[in-house]
Amino acid sequence: MPIAHEFDYLKPASLEDAVAVLAKRGEGAQVLAGGTDVVALLRDGAIAPEVVVDIKGIAGLADIRLAGERLFIGPLVTFTDLIESELIRESFPLFYEMAVKVASKGIRNRATVVGNICSAVPSCDAGPVVLVYDAQVLILGPEGERAVHIDEWFTGPKKTDLQSGELVVGLEMPSSAQACGGSYVKLGRYRGEDLAQASVAVLVSPDYEYRVAFGAVGPVPVRAKKLEAAIKGEEPTEEMFAVARKFIARETSPITDIRATAEYRTHMLEVMLERGIRAAVARLNGDGPEYGTRHI
């Protein structure tokens, strides 16, 4: 079925030009990066922009770089780019573990990490990982630059803090995460490409401070800060998991839909959280499973 909706297509060569167009066209403009969501939404008629603004003509937006205390990921970085980056593999391997579980090769070659969090589907794979990496979303708009902490970014299903006329120009993460162990556990209906029924990201620092985030079990991917505080400083033991499990119901609000029941999601989160914490701690101590493994 062809795309019925007609629109203009612009491919600005600079950030200034892109932001000028976005400011001028406001709600009528749709940014295009990898297009794996945008083109599907256009075909469905779920979005009907006057103009599609392709940012692939702007230099420097596909960078993954370590600058001082921050890791920068540009808005054109694809999941394949993450998988193939030595810097990611060696220093921020939780991104690698997440990226290999996204959809299929043909999608990963095109879909971007930033696009994933801009689409803001509750099950988005990048969500829980950027939450535990404590990311800042860097934004350029008519009023200049601003940064939004990832905790404030997701505002509802498919909704973010991005305002009309603004463009996400990258993600920044503290490089201190390099010293941590991490894990990403994704539950799907079958091996191979599927959206998450539930997902858990864990990051643990050398002094056993935990960061835990959940995906697909609420309207937005969410950090579980009460849970984190309750297990702070603890090594993984049965007692610690018993405490952690108690917080799952408080920190999540799963629904029953076509992919799973709420009860199943909650039950599986208990299993996934325990495995995620065990793997993250084992990796911190240098004897965990290789990054990229399924855990479940």
Residues that bind another protein (CB under 8 A): 1-9, 32, 35-36, 39-40, 42-44, 52, 54, 56, 80, 103-107, 109-110, 191-193
Give residue for tokens 């990496």.
133
CA 133 from centre of chain: 10
Task: Considering the complex, state which of residue 37 and residue 172 has its C-beta at the smaller distance from another protein.
Answer: 37
Q: How far is the CB of 74 from another protein (least distance, A)?
A: 18
Task: Considering the complex, state which of residue 43 and residue 245 has its C-beta at the smaller distance from another protein.
Answer: 43
Per-residue DSSP letters for 264-288?
A: HHHHHHHHHHHHHHHHHHHHHTT-S
Task: Considering the complex, state which of residue 8 and residue 16 has its C-beta at the smaller distance from another protein.
Answer: 8
Q: How far is the CB of 35 from another protein (least distance, A)?
A: 6
Task: Considering the complex, state which of residue 141 and residue 289 has its C-beta at the smaller distance from another protein.
Answer: 289
Task: Considering the complex, state which of residue 83 and residue 139 has its C-beta at the smaller distance from another protein.
Answer: 83
Amino acid letter, residue 61: L
For the record, the structure tokens of 168 come out as 């996400």
Evaluate whether 121 touches 112 at the Cβ level (below 8 Å). no
Per-residue DSSP letters for 175-200?
A: GGGGGSEEEEEEE-SSSSS---SEEE
DSSP 162: P
Task: Considering the complex, state which of residue 104 and residue 256 has its C-beta at the smaller distance from another protein.
Answer: 104
Q: How far is the CB of 116 from another protein (least distance, A)?
A: 14
Q: How far is the CB of 223 from another protein (least distance, A)?
A: 29
Q: How far is the CB of 46 from another protein (least distance, A)?
A: 11
Q: How far apart are CA 93 and CA 95, in angstroms?
A: 5
Which residues share a beta bridge with 186? 199
Task: Considering the complex, state which of residue 86 and residue 238 has its C-beta at the smaller distance from another protein.
Answer: 86
Sign, Cα dihedral of 262, 268, 270, 272: negative
Q: How far is the CB of 106 from another protein (least distance, A)?
A: 5
On the 0-12 / 13-18 / 19+ scale of CB atoms within 10 A, 144 is exposed
On the 0-12 / 13-18 / 19+ scale of CB atoms within 10 A, 287 is exposed
Q: How far is the CB of 126 from another protein (least distance, A)?
A: 17
